[in-house]
Amino acid sequence: MKKLLITRVLPDAVYPLLDGWDVVRRDLTTPLDGAEMRSALQEFDAVLCTLGDQFSAEVFADVTQPRCRMLANFGVGYNHIDVAAAQAAGLVVSNTPGAVTDATADVAMTLMLMSARRAGEGERLVRAGAWEGWHPTQMLGMHLTGKSVGIVGMGRIGQAIARRCHFGFDMAVHYFGRGRKELAFEATYHSDLKAMAAAVDVLVTAVPASPATHHIIDKDVLSAMQPHARLINIARGDVVAEDALIEALGNKTIGGAGLDVYEFEPEVPEALRALDNVVLLPHLGTATEEVRVDMGRMAVENLQAFLVGKTPPNLV
């Protein structure tokens, strides 16, 4: 029987789906360390891994003849896996793309609303016992309905965000990406990211992490944004230059930000935590019971296909 390592605690509904595997559960919430990753490649036929399990080129270089033949990633993002190194070592890599789309788009809208309406500041005010009552100029924010949104990356998640903005909030949709898309709603394509950043009230990142998207939101893009504009990041932390963002927020170059991911996650700099004009969430993008179970099911479908010699449906 093929041996499978599950590197992190999963929803209970996922485990019964793993018929045919000799399953070893690592019931922890922390990522694998270097020694654990090397042992996983040597001792298991497949590994169901997730964000933080850094299967780097160095890890593969240290295991010259791995027993492992598959990394089934729990999540759509797989920048923690060096896919080229895995493939060179004879492994296949899969992910779970479709399951995360709506939940991640919902969190983008949560952050947009929280930032625009200063909801985080307001809650802190009430919890501190410092609220002195309603008055006409109390905590005035930005009215989101009817504003413009610029989406960096118009893939599945970008389009889900755009639909919510267009149909739900009557927002003008702009987008930047590798090319124009056929969309079911009106949207303006931009080939110049800085030009789009200058034109919109809310800028949302929805791109995968890759060398091409590393720090795609840099000092120049932030400087191009309007003083009232908000930056929302639900992609990966390193698509935003965190130091540049802290500077832009501190100097009020932009109106605010909403972040669900961080460049050196889970580390969040004190300089960022000290700012009132940024909403900070602990990577909640897919954090619903239904979605995490669906992600598990999709990861298992990939594993089960591999087990019987078929091509996993979600290879990367």
Q: What is the pLDDT of residue 43?
A: 98
Q: Which of 8, 236, 242, 292 is catalytic?
A: 236
Q: What is the pLDDT of residue 98?
A: 85
- Tell me, yes or no, if 283 is annotated catalytic: yes
pLDDT in tens, 12-70: 999 999 999 999 999 999 999 999 999 999 999 999 999 999 999 999 999 999 999 99
pTM for the structure as a whole: 0.91
- Tell me, yes or no, if 265 is annotated catalytic: yes
**Could you give the CA distance from residue 298 to residue 53 in angstroms, rounded to a whole number?**
19
Q: What is the pLDDT along the chain (316 residues), one digit of tens a residue?
A: 999 999 999 999 999 999 999 999 999 999 999 999 999 999 999 999 999 999 999 999 999 999 999 999 999 989 999 999 999 999 999 999 988 999 999 999 999 999 999 999 999 999 999 999 999 999 999 999 999 999 999 999 999 999 999 999 999 999 999 999 999 999 999 999 999 999 999 999 999 989 999 999 999 999 999 999 999 999 999 999 999 999 999 999 999 999 999 999 999 999 999 999 999 999 999 999 999 999 999 999 999 999 999 999 999 9
- Tell me, yes or no, if 215 is annotated catalytic: no
- β-bridge partners, 173: 149, 187
**What structural domains does the chain harbor?**
2-95+289-307 (3.40.50.720), 101-280 (3.40.50.720)
Task: State the maximum Cα–Cα separation within the chain, in Å, rounded to a whole number.
Answer: 69
Q: Which of 36, 43, 247, 265 is catalytic?
A: 265
Q: Which of 69, 214, 228, 283 is catalytic?
A: 283
- Strand 46-50 relative to strand 70-74, pairing: parallel
**Could you give the CA distance from residue 228 to residue 239 in angstroms, rounded to a whole number?**
21
**Could you give the CA distance from residue 273 to residue 175 in angstroms, rounded to a whole number?**
29
When the pLDDT of each residue in the chain is averaged and rounded to a whole number, the result is 97
Report long-range pairs for 38-42 (Cβ below 8 Å, ≥24 apart): 38/62, 38/63, 40/5, 40/7, 40/68, 41/66, 41/67, 41/68, 41/89, 42/66, 42/67, 42/68
Q: What is the pLDDT of residue 112?
A: 98
User: CB-hemisphere CA count at 13 Å for 272?
Assistant: 23
pLDDT in tens, 243-269: 999 999 999 999 999 999 999 999 999
Q: CA distances (Å), 151 to each of 79, 103, 156, 223, 314, in order?
A: 21, 17, 12, 17, 25
